Amino acid sequence: MSRAKNVPDLFGSMVFNETVMQERLPKDVYRKLKKTMREGTAIDPDVAAVVATAMKDWALSKGATHYTHWFQPLTGVTAEKHDSFISPTDNGGVMMEFSGKELIKGEPDASSFPSGGLRATFEARGYTAWDPTSYAFVKDGSLYIPTAFCSYTGQILDKKTPLLRSMEAISKQACRVLKLFGKDVRNVMATVGPEQEYFLIDRDDYAKRKDLIFTGRTLFGARPPKGQEMEDHYFGSIRPRVAAFMQELDEELWKLGIFSKTKHNEVAPCQHEMAPVFTSVNIASDHNQLTMEVMKRVAQKHHFICLLHEKPFDGINGSGKHNNWSLSTDTGENLLEPGKTPSENAQFLLFLTAVIKAVDEYQDLLRISVASAGNDHRLGANEAPPAIVSMFIGDELQAILNAIESGEDYTERAKTKMDLGVSVLPDIPKDTTDRNRTSPFAFTGNKFEFRMLGSAINIACPNIMINTAVADELCQFADELEGADDFKEALLTLIRREIKAHKRIIFNGNGYDDAWVVEAEQRGLHNFKSTAEALPHYTDEENVELFARHNVYTREEMESREEALLEEYYKTLRIEALTMSDMVREEIVPACVNYEGDLSRVVRNKKEAGITDGMETELLGRISALTKELYHKCDELERAVAAAPRAESKMLADYYHDVVLPAMEEVRIPADKLEMLVGKKYWPFPTYSDILFYV
């Protein structure tokens, strides 16, 4: 039997999903658990006890011996502490037990995770709480239980809890709005399909480069003769070795219930993409964290290393994560589906207006949600959107909004088909609008594609921002419309007013054009070019008030996240600077000196033979001068790092951005020139040509 015929059986085989619950839980317990999952009600301890036993028995049948509360601290990656199911018996043996209490709550040490000042080091206690809306699964001999993570005082220390809060906020406000249209909806779900870009490089090349090992990106590297300029890698034939990796990746993801749908080569050499089917944003976030972990593990088995850094190689595409966000009701309706006549779809236009207003008013939060040291290198170049937040809605929707604003009638565009001029080929329906690959936040038919996310990011962060901001606008709309005497007239007035007030955020042109930077400034849009510049706006008063209104973050929780992110930023740059210094001192300079020594012997031998004008003398002089320059630039970098002030994180972030980062860029210039001059057998680590064009 082929693999393809086994996929339905394979899919979700390691997940405690609906099918398993129905098989293993008593009917009344299953109904109560489903109610908890659907309505967010507290779970009964007796129900939890039955679920725990069934979950344990199922996990044992899948080869598990341990369980872990799987959570997402502020590190941006996941965390887990494993306990076995064993419990001692009176006769010196063991039995396998798992209680409802152990399922619902765990107590990991919270002191060593980032807290941004919420917790002192000596305050160790933390709690994990079972999230029944995300299925448990078995992996590597353990039962993984998705959980939230909080401190002893109840303050949140993770990324899942605020995401769940933001989902409740947008569901509540969207249901209020839908009620105005005569629809009785119990739940509105934010849905996401996060496309994941990544690089695969040979494991041996990775092991020879300190920069890749310690920082995830190359700190040195001259551009190879060929990069991505021929566009021949994009959607190209997948190499057998990579195809084998992708096949195993799909299988491992399918076992875990992850909807891995699409795989292809991306634009840059060695770059690839995996895209899943959309699901609820909470499950999508869990799945994406798992996907990144599984990618790394499967890559190792195929003698690859999977790089998830946003910009591992200079001069070619970085890797992003396209966050395809929409809203769906529990009745299956997509609220961002325009329908056949979007100009007459008042409900769609109201939700569209809410998103436009949210992105305009909270553009700083969207920029902050994707801010990192790595993403700073990616944004604004090589097919990544710029750092200026704007929205693309396309020609058709733009024309509709223009008509609404002006009060003029809108003439619906006729649907046409493209004749390809070959009789055997079918006519293709032509969309009424194109797509814009340079837009940070683009409408793509029935969803918005937030393209600014870096490849390594936890998608919870940007979706918390989107959910909460849109929820706030829907709340304002509902407040205004619920008391209206003439709903239709009030609705039209609201949409017209808000489109006029927030149309500055809509830009359908080329985001890479220098003229856009000038125009965006004239429109009053933010342009936070770096993480150091963006992060301090996290706790601007209007942002604090936004999250407080919807019970997503307290002021203290926001301040802690700003502090943690600033700390992560300057620590990342510090590690990169120290790695750069090590590579110069221990590898590049010695390699150059060795080559100079051999060149010197050649020059001396030629002089003794009466040859005084050989090119070796000129080459030796150039290498000697560049090596000296590199040595002194490295000195300057080390002094810059040593001079970092003992100061608060904001000042340190500014210092590393303004002083250390430019010093790092200065070190790279002579090093990359030397790579082009020093003999290949002398160069101490694999070059871009070696890494990006392996067989």
- What pTM value is reported for the model? 0.93
Cα dihedral 653→654→658→659 (10° resolution): -60
Report the range of poorest mean pLDDT among 353-367, 422-436, 508-522.
422-436
In this predicted structure, the answer to whether residue 382 has a pLDDT above a threshold of 90 is no
Bridge partners (DSSP) listed for residue 94: 88
Predicted local confidence at residue 1, as pLDDT: 36
pLDDT digits (tens, 9 = 90+) for 142-188: 999 999 988 767 788 899 999 999 999 999 999 999 999 999 999 99
Closest Cα partner for 113 from 615, 599, 651, 560?
560
Total residues belonging to the chain: 695
Helix and strand element counts for the chain (H, E) = 25, 19
User: Going by C-beta distance under 8 Å and a sequence separation of 6 or more, which residues neighbour residue 318?
Assistant: 309, 310, 311, 312, 377, 378, 381, 382, 384, 454, 455
Helices (H), 508-656: 514-523, 531-534, 541-549, 555-583, 589-608, 615-642, 649-655
Closest Cα partner for 188 from 171, 172, 164?
171
pLDDT digits (tens, 9 = 90+) for 57-98: 999 999 999 999 999 988 888 999 999 999 888 888 888 899
Cβ contact 569:531 at 8 Å: yes
Apex CA 194: angle with CA 191 and CA 198, to 5°?
170
Residue range 531-554: average pLDDT? 96
Strands 260-265 and 428-430: unpaired
Amino acid, single-letter form, for residue 395:
D
Mean pLDDT, the chain, rounded, equals 91
Cβ contact 584:630 at 8 Å: yes
Predicted local confidence at residue 42, as pLDDT: 77
Helix (H, G, I), strand (E, B) or coil at 550: coil
User: Going by C-beta distance under 8 Å and a sequence separation of 6 or more, which residues neighbour residue 457?
Assistant: 76, 321, 370, 372, 375
Amino acid, single-letter form, for residue 517:
V
pLDDT digits (tens, 9 = 90+) for 458-503: 999 999 999 999 999 999 999 999 989 999 999 999 999 999 999 9
Give the count of beta carbons closer than 10 Å to the beta carbon of residue 266. 22
In this predicted structure, the answer to whether residue 432 has a pLDDT above a threshold of 60 is no
Q: How would you label 611-645 residue by residue, b for 16+ Cβ within 10 Å and e otherwise?
A: eeeeebbebbeebeebbebbbebbeebbebbeebe
Strands 428-430 and 271-276: unpaired
In whole angstroms, what is the distance from residue 453 CA to residue 370 CA?
5
Cα dihedral 459→375→438→306 (10° resolution): -70
Cβ contact 444:436 at 8 Å: no
Helix (H, G, I), strand (E, B) or coil at 119: coil
In whole angstroms, what is the distance from residue 280 CA to residue 463 CA?
11
Cβ contact 276:287 at 8 Å: yes
Predicted local confidence at residue 2, as pLDDT: 44
